Each structure stands twice: as structure tokens, then as C-alpha cells.
Chains A and B, each alone.
Chain A
Amino acid sequence: METALPSFLARTTVLIPAFNEEAALPELLAEVRAQLPGAAVTVVDDGSTDRTAEVARAAGARVLRLPCNLGVGPAVQAGFQDALECGAEYLIRLDGDGQHPPAEARKLIAAMLAQPTDLVIGTRYGANSTYHGNWSRQLALKALATFLSVICKKRITDPTSGFWLVSRPLLQCFAIHYPADYPEAEAIALLRRQGFEMEEVPVAFRPRQAGRSSIRAWGTLNFAAKVFLALFVDRLRSVDPRGSAAFIKKGRAP
């Protein structure tokens, strides 16, 4: 792992979507440089009203500054498209609020190197998990994880985790289609329907370092209801051949 890491990181982009995260970014970016040396770092500033873009640039990151707030889905998709155009083979997605410790990304990389797949997700709910949300959040996430596991025919424990390691073929798929409103859970359903593979790896999350979550406690059940609806509607859509794993991987075959 340690010998393969430098060449892996040289082909990797670290993507950090951020909205008003000027307080958390400097520390996070310094940590990324220390823990994931050699990786390109892109911050997508989703129409922040504070100095997020300036702070990210000052820390040496490439900044995609969206002219208005589009939401996390389109912001992440912009980062995917940019990473593809820059030739990235892998992309590590970290939240701009510092919840995803860059050091933990090494676990995702180790899993990808041990068994190459299309997506590795860092899950908060591993065997030794100490993560506890409030009861409504726990209940909604559990129900969502169960539903998603059934429709994806794959055990999924953390459907809203944004701590991802994405391979290039899946980036190509997501550059065409990426859900806008409830991206993580919908994206997992989408990638399975398009024929891609994924694995989960237990990682430790940190509490938010600054700012506040986009999902408030009172809105958790509302959020879950909307995600269920979105996942149900997704099932009614046909698979887009341009974004299918078979089509994309065939194009990459020597």
C-alpha cells in the first residue's frame, strides 16, 4: 500500500464541495496536503457569500467558483466534469466542513488497491462505530439504507455518506447524469442500475468543524420521504446506454 500510494495519488483529484466554509477550509486543505501528498486538490465554491474561494486559492487549491448556489449535486458534478477533463483516474470526495478526515481516505485507497472497484464509500456505521445522530435521523437513515440495499441488491449501511473514492469510468457516468436534489442515495441507486460496482469501508467521521448541516433535525423525516420518492421514480427510468458500465468500460478497453 505505502509503495503504491504515491503513484495512486499522482493520478487522483481530491474534490471538496464547499458552501460558506471559509472557517473550516484552511485547516482541511493543510491536512489534505499532509495526508494525501501529490494529489490535485479542487474546491468547488457553490456560490458562497463569504471568502471560501479566496481562502481555497490562497491554500493552493484549484477553485471552481459557481456563479450562484446550485446545491450539492450540481456542485459535485461540476467537480467530476473538471476532474475528467484534467485526466484524473481517481477522485476522492471530501466534505468542506471537515467531517471527513483526509487521513481516513487512505482506508478507501487501500480498499481500492486491494480490490479494484468503481466506487468505495466511507461508512460511519462500521462494526466499531461510535457515531450517533439523533433518533429521527438514525431511524430515517436505517430505513433508507434498508430500502437502498434491497433495490441495489447490495448491503449499504450509510446511504448519505459523501466520503467517496470514485474511479474514472464512474466519473464518466456521473459527468452525464448526477442527481441534483438528494445526490448520494440517488447516485448509489443510479450507479447500480448502470452496472457499476461499489464497496463500503468503515471510517471515522469527525463532528463538523464549522458551519451547519444542510439537513436540520426537524427536516430529517421530510428529507427521507423525498429521497424515497426520488428513489422510487428512479426505478421507473430506463438505463442510459451512454452512462452504462458496459458502454464506458468497452470504450476504455485496449
Chain B
Amino acid sequence: MKKILLALAVLAGGLVLLGFWLADASQMLRIRALMGVVSIGVFLITLLAIRGYKLREKYAVLWLATAAMITLTALFPQLVDGTRKWFGMQYVTSVVAVVFTFLVLVSFHFSIALSALNDKAAATASRCAILEARLRDLERRLAAAEKKNGAQPAD
């Protein structure tokens, strides 16, 4: 917890410094800096979630890829230049469109994973209920058998 708070404090400090440094920078540079900060945030949160066993690696990969995608668009704006030219969009719009598309795909993937998990949970709960009913049957029969044996006169 202390480490997380320290990381957040460092991040906040970095953001303040970045804000001062970018006070006179162009709008383009400020947007790229914002994208960079967002990508670092996504990386950190994902890594912390994996570390705390709150997120499985197989799902984390997509989030890490999302962060990498945002970083790439921040560092190399020319990567989205083709998209911008093709659709006639401004840089910011292109970035938002790319990130949005990627996040929609990620959300869709999680919806599928959630549905599968729902089916598995239902199957497990059903099996659990059936086994509990069988266990009760066995306990009742055992108790009846023990009572019957106990009632028999000893030789």
C-alpha cells in the first residue's frame, strides 16, 4: 500500500513538473504528453493488478497492448498520420479514434470472457447443489442404518 501511495505521489509530482515544463509548449505537444501520462498510468495499474493477483496475465496482455498502443501514438504521431490523411481527421481525433476502437475490442473480449465465466459459475453451482443433496441423502441413510444396527440386540 505504501509503495502504491509512493508511486502515485511520484506520478502526481511528475505531472506537476510536466505541467510547468509544457506551459509554453504547443497544443500538439501537450496532447502527446497527456497520452504519454495515460499510457504510463495504464501500464502501472495493469502491472499492480497482476502483482496483486487481481488480474490474470491472459487478460492483462490486452491492457498492456492498449498502453503500448497509446505510447506509440504519443511518441510517434506519424504512425497515425496515414489514418489521419485517409479519413481527413486532425491528430487528436485520430488518436481518440484509434484508442476508442482498441478499447471497444478490449471490452468486447471481456464481455465474452465474462459470459464464459457466467456459464462456468452456473455449472459449478448446479453441481454443488446436486452433490449437497446427495450428501444429505447419504447422511440420512447412514444415520438410519446406524440407528437400525444400534437397535439390534447384542450377541
Interface residues of A (CB under 8 A from B): 42, 44, 62-68, 70, 74, 77-78, 81-82, 85, 180
| Residue among A70, A74, A78 making CB contact with B130, cutoff 8 Å | A78
| Alpha-carbon gap, A22 to B119, bound state (A) | 28
State whether B133 touches A70 (Cβ < 8 A): no
State whether A85 touches B126 (Cβ < 8 A): no
User: Which of chain B's residues have a CB closer than 8 A to the CB of A63?
Assistant: 133, 136
Mask of B115-133 contacts with A, CB within 8 angstroms, 1/0: 0001101100110111011
| Alpha-carbon gap, A68 to B122, bound state (A) | 9
| Residue among A42, A67, A85 making CB contact with B128, cutoff 8 Å | A67
Closest 5 CB pairs of A and B: A78-B126, A64-B129, A74-B122, A82-B130, A66-B129
Q: Which residue of chain A is the closest to B126 with respect to CB atoms?
A: A78
State whether A65 touches B132 (Cβ < 8 A): yes
Interface residues of B (CB under 8 A from A): 118-119, 121-122, 125-126, 128-130, 132-133, 136-137
State whether A65 touches B130 (Cβ < 8 A): no
| Alpha-carbon gap, A64 to B132, bound state (A) | 7
Quick one: given A62-B133, A63-B133, A82-B133, are A70 and B128 in contact (CB under 8 Å)? no
State whether B122 touches A65 (Cβ < 8 A): no
| Alpha-carbon gap, A82 to B133, bound state (A) | 9
Not counting A64-B130, A66-B126, A85-B130, a sample of 12 additional A-B residue pairs whose C-beta atoms are within 8 angstroms of each other reads A62-B137, A64-B129, A64-B133, A65-B129, A68-B125, A74-B125, A77-B126, A78-B129, A78-B130, A81-B130, A82-B133, A180-B119
| Alpha-carbon gap, A44 to B125, bound state (A) | 12
Q: Please give the distance in Å from B140's CB to the nearest CB on chain A.
A: 11
| Alpha-carbon gap, A94 to B111, bound state (A) | 34
| Alpha-carbon gap, A65 to B135, bound state (A) | 12
| Alpha-carbon gap, A85 to B121, bound state (A) | 20
Q: Which residue of chain B is the closest to A73 with respect to CB atoms?
A: B122
User: Which of chain B's residues have a CB closer than 8 A to the CB of A70?
Assistant: 121-122, 125-126
Q: Which residue of chain B is the closest to A63 with respect to CB atoms?
A: B133
Q: Which residue of chain B is the closest to A77 with respect to CB atoms?
A: B126
User: Which of chain B's residues have a CB closer than 8 A to the CB of A82?
Assistant: 129-130, 133
| Alpha-carbon gap, A235 to B125, bound state (A) | 29
| Alpha-carbon gap, A62 to B138, bound state (A) | 12
Indicate the member of B121, B129, B132 with the most A CB atoms within 10 Å: B129
User: Which of chain A's residues have a CB closer than 8 A to the CB of B132?
Assistant: 64-65
Q: Please give the distance in Å from A45's CB to the nearest CB on chain B.
A: 8
Q: Please give the distance in Å from B28's CB to the nearest CB on chain A.
A: 45
State whether B126 touches A81 (Cβ < 8 A): yes
User: Which of chain B's residues have a CB closer than 8 A to the CB of A65?
Assistant: 129, 132-133
User: Which of chain A's residues have a CB closer than 8 A to the CB of B121?
Assistant: 70
Q: Please give the distance in Å from B16's CB to the nearest CB on chain A.
A: 46
